[in-house]
Amino acid sequence: MGTIMSLVLATIAFVGSHMLLSHPLRAPVVAKLGEGGFMIVYSIVALFTFGWMVWAGLAMAPMPAHWIAPLWFYDWAAPVLMLLASILLAGSFVGNPAFPDAGSGSTSIRPATGVFAITRHPMNWAIMIWALTHIALSGTPLNLTVAGGLFLLTFFGSLAQDRKKEGLMGDAWRGWEARTSFVPFKAVLDGRIPVWALWPGWIALIGGIVIWVGATWLHAMPVGIWQ
């Protein structure tokens, strides 16, 4: 059986290498290997460290949870939160201005609608909601390590992405930041975005439901609609 320390080291390697290669090391590696070479290195490191993390988690001896969520959280709150996360994830692939091939011109004038009316970082918030929900459900050392590591990666990754995009896109991204919010629903509560703009669109909605149904079905124990 593995130990919690092995899982902690694997999680640190996955999170740390992702942050380093995504930001401070990206430019020098691209300069040396080119964009294609960088993507090969990035993919190999990501797959290796993620595989190590999965292996370490599966090899761990079972450890007791520090807490277990009440039944209502399992039955109602967690499924609703995970459905929101799934919709954010599906919608993040449609017209995401943070993607490398997105044009800065359209970003400077486009309205924030759909999942981007909820948060300008829908993909990262999908992972953060997943992480926080699973930590709340069961405070096992495995959950705290893996979900906690992924939360830190996506939280600080979102902040770093804003700084990076400000440098690359200038006023276009700063204007996008002014019209949107990092914290989900904050721009709507502030009055910067109308409530009607929260409609995620059919692709995000249907795609999110498919992800949500599939993910709950794959759990080792009956959860959500499969209880």
Type of residue found at 52: W
Distance CA(49)–CA(46), nearest Å, equals 5
First to last CA, the chain: 31
Using alpha carbons, select from 65, 66, 59 the residue that is nearest to residue 3.
Answer: 59
Type of residue found at 56: A
Q: Cα separations (Å) of 83 from 93, 120, 165?
A: 16, 18, 29
Q: What φ, ψ does residue 181 adopt, rounded to 5°?
A: -140, 150
Whether the CB-CB separation of 201 and 55 falls below 8 Å is answered with: no
Whether the CB-CB separation of 117 and 191 falls below 8 Å is answered with: no
Q: Per residue of the chain (227 residues), give pLDDT as tens.
A: 568 899 999 999 999 999 898 878 888 988 888 888 989 999 999 999 999 999 999 888 888 999 999 999 988 999 999 999 999 999 999 989 888 765 555 665 788 999 999 999 999 999 999 999 999 999 999 999 999 999 999 999 999 999 999 988 888 899 999 999 999 999 999 999 999 999 999 999 999 999 999 998 887 655 555 55
Amino acid 103: pLDDT: 57
Whether the CB-CB separation of 178 and 117 falls below 8 Å is answered with: no
How buried is 34 (Cβ within 10 angstroms: 0-12 exposed, 13-18 middle, 19+ buried)?
exposed
Distance CA(63)–CA(212), nearest Å, equals 28
Distance CA(142)–CA(166), nearest Å, equals 36
Using alpha carbons, select from 23, 17, 60, 7 the residue that is nearest to residue 41.
Answer: 17
Model pTM above 0.95: no
- Chain centroid to Cα 204, Å, comes to 15
